[in-house]
Each structure stands twice: as structure tokens, then as C-alpha cells.
Amino acid sequence: MGHEGTDPARVRVADDLEVLTRPGPWAAGEAHYLYHEIFTHDDYLRDLPPLRPDAVVVDAGANIGLFALRVAGLCPDARLVVVEPVPATCALLRANLAGLAPGSVRVVEAALGRRSGRAVLTAYRHLSANSTGRPWEKPAHWVAEMRETQTDPRLADEMLSTDLVEVEVVRLSSVLPPEAPRIDLVKVDVEGAELEVLHGIDERDWPRIAALVVEVHDVDDRVREVERLLTRHGFECGRRVPAMMSPDLRHHIVTAVRA
């Protein structure tokens, strides 16, 4: 079946918030899901100390910008660095953040990794938050459950359709504001590349980071590896299952604050 048009769709996710996303019901549904994850359940911020009004926040895996909008609403003078590798998604991110104060946001269109270079991502056309460089780690039962939401197999195929996208890869230290003595929060939600992103932080930059929140896909004991890395750099860690996810998916929110 043919693809839908590529013009963005405007989706009202709350009485006071509209965002642009891909056209079609699945992307709109994902936008609502992300809104409730980020705003209603406060999944990224709820276990962390309150952010300062002028907080410096790095959002790795910014998608269409809902977490950045959440931070901007809480912290009127915040400085944001938002990182999103998929070009079509990054275009929506730029549009959704266009209303923020001039100079308050830097958008980086790149993936993050242990070293700079190039990578190929599997980009979901209608479920952009699932785009990944590690498609083999997608749980088979998640794919099966998603397919079961559609009565027509052709619709299921379209909902889960993907493109291979070659993107630039940079190290996280290369996007940290060099003049900022303190990075209040680094949020990492990168669909399986969590360790690679964290290993892209230079030793000299770790002391500047006050807190992190990392969504971790627990494959090959990755949660414990992330926690060991963060503990080694002076953080106390906590973990929990995201509010809207089944424990069977083995996703965890790991929070880290200075000990």
C-alpha cells in the first residue's frame, strides 16, 4: 500500500499543547503516549532533584521535542542542547521548539556514540520513538503485540514500516556547552545505544554533570553495566520500570545523582 503524505500533522496532546508529528493515526497516537510518559507520569524527572530555573539540560534522543518542552515549561531560563539523528524527526523537533526563546536551544542532528563517524539507523516511519541502530534488540513480543492492534495485516505492515538512514555520529562530549561549569541534567533515551552514548563522555567532563536519567534496554546485563559506569563516576543510582511499560519489555529508567 502507498505511504501517506509527508506534510506534518498538528496533534493536540493536551488542552494547552499542540505538537507537529508525522501524518496518520499511529504517529498521533505515539505523540499522545509520549506526552503522558513525559508530562503526566513525569518519567524522566520524578526521581531527580528539581531543576534550577536556568538549568543546562542535554536531551540525547530528543525525538519530536516533548521532553525539551517539559523542561522549558519548568525552567523559564533553561539552556537546552537537543540531539536527534533521524532527519525527518529532527525537522519536527526544530519546528516544535521554534517558539522557545531565541538562543535557548541548540539542535544537533546526529547520533551519539563512543566515537565519531557514520552509522545506519533503522527509522520507523510512523513510530519514530522506536528508531534504533540495534533493531535486533526489539523484543519479538513487542512486535507481535503491535501487529495485533491492527485488524488488517497490511495496516500492521505499514505501521511497523522502516527506512534505513545513514547518519553522522558524534561523541556526547562534543555537544556539551564548553562554557557551562555545570550540566544540570543529561537525559539519554537512545533505543539500545545507552552505553555507547555514555562512553562518549570525556573524563574531564564527568565532574560537570550533576545528574543523569537514562532509559536502558536490559540486554546482556546492560542495566548493571550502566549503573557500574555511573557509580564509578561518583553517582548514586536508582532504577524503576517506566510507568507505561510492561516489565516484560525489560526497559528501565536509571537515575543518577551526585553522591
Beta pairing partners, 186: 58, 212
Cα 211 to Cα 57: distance, rounded to the nearest angstrom = 10
All three cell numbers of 243: 510507568
Alpha carbon separation from 131 to 89, 107, 177, 191 (Å, rounded): 10, 18, 26, 7
Does the pTM surpass 0.85? The reply is yes
**Cβ 46 vs Cβ 185: under 8 Å:** no
Q: Could you give the CA distance from residue 221 to residue 223 in angstroms, rounded to a whole number?
A: 6
State yes or no: pLDDT of 139 exceeds 90.
no
CA separation for the pair 163, 132 (Å, rounded): 11
Own/partner long-range contacts of 208-211 (Cβ < 8 Å, ≥24 apart): 208/176, 208/180, 208/181, 208/182, 208/183, 209/183, 210/182, 210/183, 210/184, 210/185, 210/257, 210/258, 211/48, 211/49, 211/184, 211/185, 211/186, 211/235, 211/255, 211/256, 211/257, 211/258
| pLDDT tens per residue across span 61-77 | 999 999 999 999 999 99
Q: Could you read off the pLDDT of 172-228 as tens digits, one per residue?
A: 999 999 999 999 999 999 999 999 999 999 999 999 999 999 999 999 999 999 999
Are 126 and 22 in contact by the 8 Å Cβ rule? The answer is yes
What does the pLDDT look like over 96-129, one tens digit per residue?
Answer: 999 999 999 999 999 999 999 999 999 999 999 9
